């Protein structure tokens, strides 16, 4: 009877640690392309592990990339996968060349991603898009995606904080220190939080894309707020 009891305990421990190991999420960089693709380069992190969590994360990453590769209104894309979007992008270019054979500038799309931060509570991923469809210059856009590490569901910026106004006040001070020439801003006296807020090892990073609050010549504006300054207003702290 005693041996059976120990056997049961051992089996329970093995099962517990096995389940815990299965729930750990890992990321590997993957390159996505298609036959006859000459214009689009995609290198992004792909989640592996718990199928529900990883599928939620991978699905959201794909959704953002599909939207960015769509020519025209990003809300009207009919593509169901990144591969399908790559094919459509190449076909759109061939159609453009057919209509405007004098145009010598090829289109291109470079998409890269990285895991900026990962803990047991939150995962932050950065996606960088450079897309040129024949204009004077291409467009560079960066997107931060935050995920609940326990579910894989996206977290909106407003849900990162238990006191958004308090965070905004802290961020405004760092913003003013980061931007030396206030004259380059569209509305220097009307501070707004950027669309991109994420976690890094060093703190909460805020990034304004080109044209978000300043002219193209200003480029991106970014700064990082150390965790010790914002831990009290974070819904999910930076600890594992």
According to CATH, the superfamily of the domain at 156-240 is: Heat-shock cognate protein, ATPase (3.90.640.20)
Cα–Cα distances (Å) from 57 to 27, 43, 125, 146, 240, in that order, read 11, 16, 10, 9, 19
Buried b (16+ CB within 10 A) or exposed e, 5-29: eeeeeeeeeeeeeeeeeeeebebee
The dihedral formed by the CA atoms of 125, 157, 73 and 37, expressed in degrees to the nearest 10: 0
Percent of the residues in the chain that have a pLDDT greater than 90, as a whole number: 69
Q: What would the pLDDT profile of 166-184 be if each residue is shown by its tens digit?
A: 999 999 999 999 888 778 8
* Residue 239 confidence (pLDDT): 77
> Given pLDDT bands bounded at 50, 70 and 90, which one contains residue 219?
confident
- Residue-level pLDDT at 3: 55
Give the model's confidence band at 218: pLDDT under 50 very low, under 70 low, under 90 confident, else very high.
confident
DSSP 8-class letter at 181: -
Q: Copy the structure tokens of residue 4.
A: 């059976």
Name the token pair of 217. Answer: 């010549």
Give strand ranges (E) for the chain: 26-32, 40-48, 108-118, 122-132, 139-148, 196-199, 204-208, 221-225
Mean predicted confidence (pLDDT) in 82-87: 96
Question: 211: which 2 tokens?
Answer: 């044209």
pTM beyond 0.75, yes or no: yes
When pLDDT is cut at 50, 70 and 90, the band that residue 4 belongs to is low
Task: Please state the domain extents for the chain.
Answer: 29-153, 156-240
Please state the rounded mean pLDDT for residues 112-130.
97
Note the pLDDT tens digit of each residue in 91-100.
Answer: 999 999 888 8
Q: Which two tokens stand for residue 199?
A: 């976690």
Could you tell me the fold of the domain covering 29-153? Heat Shock Protein 90 (3.30.565)
Encoded tokens for 101: 């054979």
Q: Pick the closest to residue 25 from 47, 46, 43, 8 (CA basis).
A: 47
Q: What's the pLDDT score for residue 214?
A: 86
């Amino acid at each position: 009877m005693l041996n059976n009891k120990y056997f049961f305990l051992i089996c329970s421990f093995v099962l517990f640690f096995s389940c815990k190991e299965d729930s750990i999420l890992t990321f590997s960089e993957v390159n996505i392309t298609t036959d006859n693709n000459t214009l689009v380069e995609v290198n992004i992190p792909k989640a592996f592990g718990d199928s529900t969590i990883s599928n939620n994360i991978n699905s959201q990453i794909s959704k953002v990339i599909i939207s960015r590769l769509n020519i025209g209104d990003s809300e009207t894309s009919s593509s169901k996968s990144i591969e399908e979007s790559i094919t459509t992008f190449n076909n759109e270019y061939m159609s453009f060349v057919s209509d405007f054979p004098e145009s010598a500038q090829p289109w291109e799309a470079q998409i890269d991603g990285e895991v900026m931060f990962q803990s047991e509570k939150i995962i932050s991923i950065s996606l960088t898009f450079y897309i040129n469809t024949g204009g004077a210059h291409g467009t560079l856009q960066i997107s931060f995606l935050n995920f609940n590490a326990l579910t894989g569901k996206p977290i909106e910026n407003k849900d990162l904080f238990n006191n958004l106004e308090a965070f905004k006040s802290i961020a405004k001070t760092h913003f003013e220190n980061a931007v030396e020439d206030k004259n380059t801003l569209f509305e220097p006296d009307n501070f707004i939080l950027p669309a991109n807020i994420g976690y890094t090892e060093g703190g909460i990073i805020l990034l304004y894309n080109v044209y978000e609050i300043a002219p193209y010549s200003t480029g991106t504006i970014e700064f990082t707020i150390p965790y010790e300054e914002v831990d009290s207003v974070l819904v999910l702290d930076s600890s594992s």
